Every structure is written in structure tokens, then in C-alpha cells.
Structure 1
Amino acid sequence: MRLGGKNTDASALFGHVYWIGGGSGAGKSTIARRLADRHGLRLYATDDVMSDHAGRSTRDDAPLLSGFMAMDLDERWVHRSPETMLETFHWFRGEGFDLIVEDLLALPKDPPVLVEGFRLLPHLVRPLAVSGHAVWLLPTPAFRRHALDSRGSTWGIAGRTSDPDRALHNLLERDRMFTDRLSEQTKLLGLPIVEVDTTTTEDELTEQVAQTLGI
């Protein structure tokens, strides 16, 4: 691994960091908050810094983000196929991950940091994470839909388009394919996962993640 032009042992920089990635609607934020509260960890939610990272990005280092920002809602969610949405969504392609790393390096090492979010792509996290300090939550489509419905956010984006039904279908299909991609990548890289379905309780999921991370 190289940071700042020098070879660096990841454990020296990120040995205090725990990573929870995964598909949308998998319960990452809920589980991370519970673990952070229970164990006195500093929580870094990548969703919360998306606007900040967008503002810190340039067209040169985040061309997909620039293209996305130039679209209206129908162009983003109605007129493109889920496949195109998957392949061109900036966060899914790792744009801005360097800013996550930059933020983490700026934080004190005490208390340890628990970072969570769908932006934690396996191939980007693996070179940084200490063995046993990372896990990906992979929700079934039924669990994802149930999670979105329970939050009341199912129509949050789709409802602002000219064709909410189509937009919602596109979003759910895009997220399903993203979760499938995470499954393939974690298996290929030998990284730990926790599968989440509608029979999984919040307490059970919290314990599974805690055990996987060794917290």
C-alpha cells in the first residue's frame, strides 16, 4: 500500500478502524449506531458526508458525479436502465473514496472508529482493513424492500419523478444488482459477509456483526 508516495503498513494507519459495508437497506446504519453506543466507538457514516465530498470533488477526479449532478430526476431514475444506473453511479464506482480515507486519517485513533456505508467497496477497503475488521451486509430483495417501507422512504426519490412506479422499479433493480456485485466481490477477495433476510432480528444481526468484527 502507498500513501503520500511512501510504502505504509495499513495496520499502522487503520488498525483502529472497523468497516461495515453492504447493500442498500441492509441495516448498516442501525447496527453501526448500536455497536458504537455499546462499545464507545466513534461513528463515521459515509452517507452523512456525501454532500461534503461532492463539494470537495472536481470534474477531473469525479466525472461520473459531475454527470449525475447535471441530470434532472427523470434523467437519473426514469429514462436510464438499471444496468446503466449501476455502471455509472459515482459512489458505486469508487469516486470519492479517497476523501473517506482522508477523513479517517484526520481523526484521532482513540476512540476506535466504526465506519459504515454502501460506499465501502470491497476492493477499495481490503488494502486498508486489518484482518477481521471488515464485514459486508448483504440483504435479500425482500428484506431491502421491507426496510425501505418501514423507514417510509420507499418513494422518497421515485415520488419526485414523472413516473414513480418506473423509477422505483429501476432503483430497486439497480440496488439488487449492486448487492449481487458485492456478493461476487467479497467471495472473490475472501472477505466476510453476513446475509440479511426477513427472519433476521436486529439483535441477531448486531451480534453477528460484532462477532465477525471481533468487537
Structure 2
Amino acid sequence: MIGGPPAAGKTTVARLLARRHGLRWYNADAHTWEHRDRAIVAGHAAALRFEQLPIKERWTVPMADRLAMSLHYERGPMIVDDLLDLPSKPLTVAEGTPITPSIARYGSRAVWLLPAPELQRARLIERGLPNGVRELYEHLRRAITDQVERYGSRRLILDGYQSVEDTVAEVEDLFADALADGDTATTALERRQLLRYANCALVSQYLTFYTRPWAQSLGDVRTTVLEFACECASTGCEEQVKLAVADFPQQGDATSALVLAPGHVPL
């Protein structure tokens, strides 16, 4: 498990670990709207309020209300349920902001990436987020850091001087025993199935988002362009492929239905 606030680099680290070691990548962001739908069905007041408020008003309410509507603490148990439903092999690397020490049950197999305040702020500004969203994300950094310290959980402090490769290497070292257990994908077919799992989760994220009436004013799911993992299944491939959601191939495992970077062929 890899936790940490928004803009900590969790997704990049987990994606590279999964590609390099034949792991299943569980991206909590890809399940955001599915989790929200579960909360709505359960009648969760803050989830219902989020859907009912005009978009701009969501980010101007008091911070306590913004935090409640983010479902930060409610989503943690949902993530655990998702993980328990996955096959036990190959190994899963799960990452997401709602992964907190209170729900991480794997001890030595969990770490939190904690960016310095100025690093997180710079990354959030670079993303062009509205002030209200940025304020929530900075609040989450403080809340997660406090909980990590209270639990004495393992953490990596990021000050901006580490490269992505530096951070990946540190996380690999921390999880060396788990990676050495051998519960990883070894064949091209297994690796391709894991890549397809992650790609399909990304498609599902956006399809579920655009089912909301208010979301339809923000864009068109058919023309939304995302970055998908190349499914050639080469152990050295880390290429990302930009595709509109409407162009994502859906037909089984046939070669013609694979997401492939230019010049790449399936193994």
C-alpha cells in the first residue's frame, strides 16, 4: 500500500512498480465515483450534498464540510473491500490518498509519501486547480501527516530534490521482501491482463463520472483523452498511449484490440 496526499507522486510510483515487477496496480482514483455511488446508495449525507451543490459552491463551504464531502475517511474501508475481492496473486500495489494508517493492515507492506508543503503547493498550482480544491488537498496533507506520525507509520519525506527514479528505488527497497516472494506476473499473457485491468479501471472512472447530470457540462466522455499503458507486455516497456475514451479497444484479448505504443508489437 502506498498512501499520501494529492500531488505526492503515489500514482507514478505505483504505476512504475507495477510495470517493472508484474504487479496488479490498484489506483484508488479510478474508483472514486464508484465509491461515491456506494455512499449515495447508503444515504451518506455528505455524498448526497456534494452531488446537489453547484460545482463552485462545493469549494467555498467551510473546510470541515469540504473534507466530509471528499469522503476521505469513508473511502478507506471501501478500498479494503475492493482489495479483498481481488485475486491474491499476483501481488497488488494499491495507492491512493484515502489509504490511511487506520485502514492499512499490512504493516511492513505500507508506506506514505509525504511531500514538503512547498513541493505539494507548487505541484498543485502547476495542475491549475481552483483555490478551494487546492486548499482541501493541502489540508489533507496536514491531516495525513498527523495520522502517520500518531501511528508511527513508515514514511518517505519528499523535498523535491529526489527524482522519480530515486523515489521508486526507495519504495522498491522498502518492499524488497514482498517483491522477492515471487507472487508476480511472469508470462506475457499475465502481464497483459494486468495492464488491461488498469486501463479498464481508468475507462470506468470516466464513464462513471460522466453519468452525473452536472458532469455533462464539463466535457464529453467520448472525446476525453487519457493516457493508457501500452499493452505489448514487454518487461521493459513503460510507454503511455494517449487515446480518446471512445477509441479504447474493448474486444477481449485479440491483438487487434490491444493498446499499443507506436512501433510496439505484443509478445
Q: What TM bracket, shorter-length normalisation? A: 0.7 to 0.9
Identity of aligned residues (%): 29
The aligned length equals 177
For residues 81-137 of structure 1, what are the alpha-carbon distances to aligned partners after superposition, in whole Å with 9 as ceiling and x for unaligned?
A: 335423x23422x22333322221221111100100101122122xx22x2100111
CA distance in 2, matches of 1:123, 1:199: 29
With 133-142 and 58-67 compared, the bigger mean Cα shift is at: 58-67
Pair 1:183–1:98, CA change in 2 (3 A): closer
Whether 2:98 is the aligned partner of 1:123: answer: no
The DSSP-based 3-state class of the residue aligned with 1:89 is helix
The DSSP-based 3-state class of the residue aligned with 2:87 is coil
For residues 17-54 of structure 1, what are the alpha-carbon distances to aligned partners after superposition, in whole Å with 9 as ceiling and x for unaligned?
A: xx001011000000000111111110000100111222
For residues 137-161 of structure 1, what are the alpha-carbon distances to aligned partners after superposition, in whole Å with 9 as ceiling and x for unaligned?
A: 11123222333455xx323xx2xxx
Paired residue type of 2:101: P
Contact 1:22 1:138 in 2 (8 A): yes
Which residues of 2 match residues 1-215 of structure 1 at below 5 A? 19-58=1-40, 60=42, 62-78=44-60, 80-86=61-67, 88-92=68-72, 94-125=73-104, 128-129=105-106, 131-150=107-126, 153-155=127-129, 158=130, 168=131, 170-214=132-176, 215=179
Pair 1:171–1:56, CA change in 2 (3 A): closer
Paired residue type of 2:63: P
Paired residue type of 2:109: H
Post-superposition, which runs of at least 4 consecutive aligned residues in structure 1 deviate over 6 A? none
CA distance in 2, matches of 1:110, 1:59: 31
Task: In structure 2, list runs of 5 or more residues that go unmatched.
Answer: 180-267
Paired residue type of 1:154: G
CA distance in 1, matches of 2:133, 2:119: 15
Higher relative contact order (CA 8 A, sep 6+): 1
CA distance in 2, matches of 1:83, 1:98: 20
Contact 1:97 1:119 in 2 (8 A): yes
CA distance in 1, matches of 2:146, 2:167: 21
Pair 1:135–1:61, CA change in 2 (3 A): farther
Task: In structure 1, list runs of 5 or more residues that go unmatched.
Answer: 1-18, 159-167
TM-score normalised over the length of structure 1:
0.74
Paired residue type of 1:192: R
Pair 1:111–1:61, CA change in 2 (3 A): farther
The DSSP-based 3-state class of the residue aligned with 2:118 is helix
Contact 2:77 2:103 in 1 (8 A): no
Kindly name which structure, 1 or 2, has the bigger radius of gyration based on alpha carbons.
Answer: 2
Contact 1:139 1:195 in 2 (8 A): yes
Contact 1:45 1:116 in 2 (8 A): yes
Deviation at 1:198, TM superposition (A): 1.8
Deviation at 1:188, TM superposition (A): 1.1
CA distance in 2, matches of 1:123, 1:61: 24
